[in-house]
Amino acid sequence: MRKLEMDELNRLSVDQFRQSEKVPVVVVLDNIRSMHNVGSVFRTCDAFLLQCVYLCGYTPQPPHRDINKTALGATETVEWKYFDTTIAAVEQLKEQGYSIWAIEQVQDSVPLHQFTYDAEKPLAIVFGNEVEGVDADVVKACHGSIEIPQLGMKHSLNISVAAGIVLWELVRSRKNLFSSDK
């Protein structure tokens, strides 16, 4: 076993990334406080070639050096938009035909491992504030809620960790996305 060199990873250039067909998933950040979390989400969206990030409310926006510390350039590749409120973002996504799901622990939430969706249709995933989670009015405006099953005492994850888990699971479940699995 040998660690691959950077030139062996077949990474896209910024222009290639921008011109690539994206996975039709929009990530909506509902009043995220931490620039580290925002940067981490950008980096995850870049890694999975996702369509866009919607930054809502007081969620920090690029450019900012503290976002860039974790984004490592992903704010230059991943498209993003700002909305004054998350409700405004959700309403726009609904008008565009998106299925919108909050990542939240609510009555009748769908466990992540049981969540299915039509990969041909656009999907939006809402991640909430580090303390309060997804705003209750935003949850009500969504088509449903997905919950990450947890076994420990805390029953909560950092938003950047939750985003990595959820987005990987959504991308992994798409047929033929990884044509050269090893």
pLDDT digits (tens, 9 = 90+) for 139-150: 999 999 999 999
Average pLDDT over residues 21-48: 97
Q: How far apart are CA 136 and CA 141, in angstroms?
A: 9
What amino acid occupies position 28? V
Average pLDDT over residues 65-71: 96
| pLDDT at residue number 182 | 44
Find, among 138, 78, 27, 157, the residue nearest to 67 by Cα.
78
Strands (E), 7-158: 23-30, 50-56, 79-83, 99-103, 110-111, 123-127, 144-147
Asked if 105 contacts 147 with a C-beta cutoff of 8 angstroms, the reply is yes
pLDDT per residue as tens digits for the range 91-100: 999 999 999 9
Alpha helix locations (H) across 54-158? 65-71, 74-77, 86-95, 136-141
Q: How far apart are CA 116 and CA 24, in angstroms?
A: 15
Place of tokens 């704010």: 75
* Candidate from 48-52, 62-66, 141-145, 178-182 with smallest mean pLDDT: 178-182
Report percent pLDDT > 90 for the chain. 83
